[in-house]
Amino acid sequence: EVQLVESGGDFVQRGGSLRLSCAASGFSISNSYMTWVRQAPGKGLEWVSSIHIGGSTYYADSVKGRFTISRDNFKNTVFLQMNSLKPEDTALYYCARTTYGSFEYWGQGTLVTVSS
């Protein structure tokens, strides 16, 4: 059974940093395209970042230069390093396995709150 479990969300001050983790089971992330999607409280979904099978990384303009996606194939875990956090980064962050241009499996999310 495919399972994704996010962790690492916390309350942080403006300008601070956090590292989110997404532990996968039931499949190997080494041959999967993985994505982070976020949802601000009461708002819609926003694509944040993706990492391809080959390791190439991609970012939304809103986080480019501040966030870094990476993965550890041995731990079967995807990470999102978030630096220079802003109040507008406050959201529930989901990781998802991406297949055929869609987000096939989702975790339950981890909450990031950035105070001003």
Partner 1 sequence: QSALTQPPSASGSPGQSVTISCTGTSSDVGGFNYVSWYQQHPGKAPKLMIYEVSKRPSGVPDRFSGSKSGNTASLTVSGLQAEDEADYYCNSYGGNNNYVFGTGTKVTVL
Q: Which amino acid is at 40?
A: A
Q: What is the dihedral of CA 39, 85, 114, 24, to 10 degrees?
A: 50
Q: Are 94 and 39 in contact (CB under 8 A)?
A: yes
Among residues 29, 32, 35, 69, the one that binds partner 1 under rule CB under 8 A: 35
One-letter amino acid at 76 equals N
User: For residue 105, with 0-12 CB atoms within 10 Å meaning exposed, 13-18 middle and 19 or more buried, which class applies?
Assistant: middle
Residue 109 is a binding residue for partner 1 (CB under 8 A): yes
Question: Which residue from 41, 54, 65, 101 is in contact with partner 1, where contact means CB under 8 A?
Answer: 101
- Name the one range near partner 1 by CB under 8 A: 12-20, 66-74, 80-88, 100-108: 100-108
Q: With binding defined as CB under 8 A, does residue 42 bind partner 1?
A: no
Residues that bind partner 1 (CB under 8 A): 35, 37, 44-47, 50, 52, 56, 58, 60-61, 94, 99-109
